[in-house]
Structure 1
């Protein structure tokens, strides 16, 4: 039997173990850049399997290299391991034991799926074509993220192609979705602190009203996209926080705004960044206020290679059928998998994890988030079958 012929049976056999791994990780989540216990636990599982593990020096990332006995390409597969600062509100026996920290995005299941893949490959090195590089990455949720530093430490050294999965509850269990080109947006966050001149609400002519200035900034920023960005290039500028004032009869001297910029191409990204800052500068100058502006550049856009996206969709059709394989629409959320795709060809995909029966009906980052754990079986198959499809194609050339 070939590796692929063994895979479907293996995913059924390993499923209970993968669920056990996932539920353990769910009970003991750790925030971005603090995944010390998680990383050590993953490393122990990998060493028990007989894997050779390299620890990253600048974060808690782990790199596993599994070399096959047969010639072939080097293919990377990635999972993320960090959790979010959210209180778990689920009524399940595997709910988080850490106050105000939970796996609310499925990273525990991503890690468990990649552990199952590690076990699959290490047991079959004699029939493996080439090398499989398994990347257990910390800090996906918080910029600057963990991907860039892992790349700097050699995670992609010699890699020909990379694949990644996000288990996705808005997509029903049993479905797979991806697309070539722009898939997920770039993200940049900004904040501005406006300093005006406070005073009595009855004598506004002796003040510089920070709330009025902040309100004008919020309104004016709506034209950054509508009047500056090419309308066929999607972009979003959102103000998510507006903090000012303490009393009804006091004109506020200070206002704090925080927002986010989402774009798909570097030209639109640059325009939006510049126009946001220029709008803030001019309005503050107009009213005689000072300001402090900070731009925090985040992740670039996730841009899937066309050939690899087509490969993933082809593999999905063989596993879940045409009716459950979807060409995804671009989405304005960010992922630091983007950094890998800037270095080597690859594809990031959504595997459906939503299910009413499993209670997986809440959005990602919701305090009652959960997923249909059967989706891990499909994640395992999608990653391995995409990798082996690529390896077989290279061998045939």
Structure 2
């Protein structure tokens, strides 16, 4: 079956690329992917599958392929939302939606999974078990789509789940894996500091919100340097300090927004505790009040060690001209809401190299000039196909 599946995928590579280019040209933002979802649903019409739409808090789609033979139930996920970025990549299928771009590769994710799913549907008489194809909306914008799909209960029967992300960390043909904590978790925060405004000549009659906020910005940097275990990673970024006023007026209130990243749950708990403690200290020190909005978006992504080893071993055994190298990738700083699936379902999220040919320093995901080597789409389809069939075949 594997050989038959690989041949089918090779024969449909041009179709994968065509789908990717169509989606790239017509990107839609998180929670607004109405036309993209309709395109996906239309692809499955008339096929021997069960289709569930509007799953979760948006345009989520679950397509169930019931194999003829008894066996396990496994999930495959691809995301399909785009980003609020004006495209600068020099491609003939450039985005026609101003200010919206597939700058992260979700167009390629969807293209490979559509064709892989269709091939698996045609081979369902040889499939042991059940495969649930998860086309997920809104990965890019918290609260994301993954958690709501998990909470829907429609994946409660899964015994494993797999997904991939294309990354320009290696050339096409390279598949990367990482066991355990692999992507960082992320928290958004906003701090509103309310002081007492006054005249610039009389600071003793006011409580300066800017000075209090500046203290917070400085103090919060000590959380990572002095409270987080040096063997773990954490980042606190102040992305916005809104304190504009008049040069001779002591500011009454300001707002600060930021982004926090952490490599594991223990580090998340430390940073959470320390940020709240610094806010309380700021209030006491400067006689102001701090209204803190602290919202964990996505948890750290934890790849099940046993299944990640299974993925690596299964792909290393493959003799395929397109899957050329299987190697361990380092733990990485980005976040992905695939982490929500992995909190509940054992699985592995692995990586497909997509550096464009002849490029030494590629633009990374989320850059307005981000582009991929489209050979990576077939590599993704073959890799996930090998993994899912191997998983269902193993005793």
Q: TM-score range by the shorter chain?
A: over 0.9
2:254 corresponds in structure 1 to 255
User: 1:8: how far off?
Assistant: 2.8
Task: Within 5 Å, give how 1:346-385 maps onto structure 2.
Answer: 346-357=347-358, 361-385=362-386
Paired residue secondary structure (1:293): strand
2:43 counterpart of 1:45: yes
Gaps of 5+ in 2: none
User: Aligned ranges for residues 219-298 of structure 1 at < 5 Å?
Assistant: 219-298=218-297
Counterpart mapping for 1:9-48 below 5 A: 9-48=7-46
Q: Map 1:317-396 onto structure 2 (within 5 A).
A: 317-319=316-318, 324-357=325-358, 361-394=362-395
Contact 1:261 1:273 (C-alpha < 8 Å) held by counterparts: no
Task: Give 1:202 shift.
Answer: 4.2
* Stretch of structure 1 that moved more, 238-247 or 158-167: 238-247
2:62 aligns with: 63
Distance 1:155 1:368, change over 3 A: farther
Alpha-carbon deviations, 1:187-238, whole Å to 9, x = none? 1111101122334444433433222222211111112122222222322222
1:156 aligns with 2:160: no
* Whole-angstrom distance in 2 between the partners of 1:298 and 1:160: 25
- Name the CA shift for 1:192/1:309 in 2 (closer, same or farther; >3 Å): same
Matched residue SS, 2:12? helix
Instruction: Look up the SS of the partner of 2:43 in the other structure.
Output: helix
Retained in 1: the 8 A contact 2:9–2:116? no
Helix, strand or coil: the match of 1:159?
coil
Aligned length: 392
- In 2, distance between residues paired with 1:49 and 1:106? 26
Residue matched to 1:131? 130
- The 2-side partners of 1:106 and 1:51 are apart by 26
**Contact 1:358-1:372 within 8 A present in 2 as well:** no
How far residue 113 of structure 1 moved from its aligned partner, in angstroms, is 0.8
Q: CA deviation at 1:390?
A: 1.3
Q: 1:304, 1:347 within 8 Å by CA — same for their partners in 2?
A: yes
Please, which runs of 5 or more residues in structure 1 have no aligned partner?
Answer: none
Per the alignment, in what secondary structure is the counterpart of residue 330 of structure 1? coil
The SS at the match of 1:298 is strand
TM-score (norm 1): 0.93
TM-superposition CA deviations, 1:77-97 (whole Å, max 9, x none): 000011111111223221111
User: Displacement, 1:7?
Assistant: 2.8
- Report which stretch shifted further, 204-213 or 316-325: 316-325
1:300 maps to what in 2?
299
Q: Give the match's secondary structure for 1:388.
A: helix
Alignment of 1:85-234 (within 5 A): 85-234=84-233
Displacement after TM superposition at 1:358 (Å): 7.4
Any idea what SS the aligned residue of 2:298 has? Answer: coil
- 1:74 equivalent in alignment to 2:67: no
CA 1:323–1:220 in structure 2 vs 1: closer, same or farther (change >3 Å)? farther
Q: Report which stretch shifted further, 172-181 or 152-161.
A: 152-161
Name the CA distance, whole Å, in 2 between partners of 1:67 and 1:106: 29
Equivalents in 2 of 1:231, 1:254: separation in Å? Answer: 35
User: 2:173·2:324 contact (CA, 8 Å) conserved in 1?
Assistant: no
CA separation in 2, counterparts of 1:118 and 1:334?
26
Tell me the C-alpha RMSD between the 2 structures.
Answer: 2.1
Rounded to whole Å, the distance in 2 between the matches of 1:128 and 1:8 is 15
How far apart are residue 112 of structure 1 and its match? 0.8
Further displaced range: 237-246 or 300-309? 237-246
Q: What SS does the corresponding residue of 1:164 show, helix, strand or coil?
A: strand
SS in 1 for 2:17: helix
Q: 1:174 to 1:251 in 2, by over 3 A?
A: farther
Q: For residues 372 and 193 of structure 2, what CA distance do their matches in structure 1 show?
A: 42
The Cα shift of 1:163 comes to 0.5
**8 Å contact from structure 2 (residues 356, 371) kept in 1:** no
Q: Structure 1 residues 81 and 49, CA, compared in 2 at 3 Å: closer, same or farther?
A: same
Question: CA 1:14–1:232 in structure 2 vs 1: closer, same or farther (change >3 Å)?
Answer: same
After superposition, the C-alpha distances for 1:17-52 in whole angstroms (9 at most, x for unaligned) are: 111111111111111111111111100011154433
CA contact (8 A) 2:187 2:260 kept: yes
Q: Say if 1:176 and 1:352, in contact at 8 Å, map to a contact too.
A: yes
1:372, 1:323 → 2: CA distance? Answer: 15
